[in-house]
Amino acid sequence: MERCPTCQARIKEAAVCPRCKTNLARLTAIEAEADARLRRALAHLAAGDASEALRFTGASLRLKQEPLGLALYGFLLQSRLLASERRPTQAEEEMTK
């Protein structure tokens, strides 16, 4: 968080806004949790588990709308749609016989 949501003063990792004295601890904790969930989503994606990556990305976005989270969510949804529309190749069909 770069600015206080109450008075828009610039803040530096403070638990209380220096200008209006708004307690920012809870908001900072929510941001940290959103970041942690997004990191877990990226770890799941790196491990090849797109379903869990999508779940953790959605959980992160419910807490905080970040550009990386939005891009990842769009990518995962698009990948899921493409995978469901993809027709099996001839080699894949022969393997299932």
Spatial CA neighbour of 76 closest among 41, 39, 34, 36: 41
Output the six-digit token pair for 8: 């828009």
**C-alpha–C-alpha distance, residues 46 and 44, integer Å:** 5
Look-up of token digits 């990305």: 57
Burial class (CB in 10 A: 0-12, 13-18, 19+), 22: middle
* Domain edges within the chain: 33-86
Reported confidence tier of residue 1, pLDDT bands at 50, 70, 90: confident
Give 82-92 pLDDT, tens digit per residue: 777 665 556 65
Q: What is the pLDDT of residues 2-39, one digit of tens each?
A: 899 999 999 988 899 999 999 999 999 999 999 999 99
User: What tokens appear for 31 in the block?
Assistant: 């941001």
